[in-house]
Amino acid sequence: SQTIHQWPATLVQPVGSPLSLECTVEGTSNPNLYWYRQAAGRGLQLLFYSVGIGQISSEVPQNLSASRPQDRQFILSSKKLLLSDSGFYLCAWGAVAYEQYFGPGTRLTVT
Amino acid sequence: GQQLNQSPQSMFIQEGEDVSMNCTSSSIFNTWLWYKQDPGEGPVLLIALYKAGELTSNGRLTAQFGITRKDSFLNISASIPSDVGIYFCAGQLDFGNEKLTFGTGTRLTIIP
């Protein structure tokens, strides 16, 4: 069966510091991968998605970037965090028929 | 961008009551999905719908793909405390488009 991992689970970072969040998927090959951000009590905002290694589509202009160095690894990065980058970051992998399955999330607080 | 209007935004019910929520759009969707999110966790896929008019159940949950393809409904029968959470609808707009459009969520609270 497929599983998706995210780490770290929680992160507190000062403004201006770099960021690296990692997502890995097990049990499937060549999945579509997605990064979402969720503000407190709000819906899901798609940040990036990838249909293959090295292929990244950005949905909104922002202070973040994404990379896919391996088939089942998706990384969300920032060179300098802003207060507005705080939120709950969710990684998801896409299966057949457009279903998406989410990881446990990373709670990021920028102070 | 495309939006899904989800209603109600919140519901306060007593244990044992039935729950109904819906998702509507001005555009036609090819796939409808319903998710539940518990606090501090990622959303979990509950039901997926692929054809207009399709009615699918998962235990006490039943969802329907509207015949106009512009809406979807989720019903929960005989609610229990573990049903508390936020329910999201999501739709896939175009064939070949790998993205989903998410609704704004319905927060379900059970009053003791």
B4: which residues sit within 8 A by CB, 6+ positions away?
A: B23, B24, B25, B89, B90, B91, B101, B102, B103, B104
**DSSP calls for A45-86:** EEEEEEEETTEEEE-S-SS-EEEEEETTEEEEEESS--GGG-
Q: Is A104 on the interface with B (CB under 8 A)?
A: yes
* Contact check, Cβ <8 Å, A42/B99: no
For B73-97, write each residue's pLDDT tens digit: 999 999 999 999 999 999 998 767 7
Low-confidence ranges of chain A (pLDDT < 50): none
**What is the residue whose two structure tokens read 């005989």?**
B78
A96: DSSP letter: G
Tokens of B4: 């899904």
Tens of pLDDT, residue by residue over A28-46, are 989 999 999 998 878 899 9
Q: Which of A61, A59, A63 is nearest to A48 (CA)?
A: A59
Backbone angles phi and psi of B81, in degrees to 5:
-55, -35
E strand map for B27-70? 31-37, 44-49, 55-58, 61-65
With an 8 Å Cβ cutoff, is A21 touching chain B? no
Residue B46, phi-psi category: left (phi > 0), alpha (psi -120 to 50), beta (remainder): alpha
CA angle A40, A45, A49 (to 5 degrees): 140
pLDDT at position A11:
97
Minimum-distance CB partner of B100 among A100, A104, A107: A100
Is the CB of residue B39 less than 8 Å away from at least one CB of chain A?
A: no
Mean pLDDT by 10 residues, chain B (112 residues): 84 97 94 95 96 96 96 97 96 81 94 85
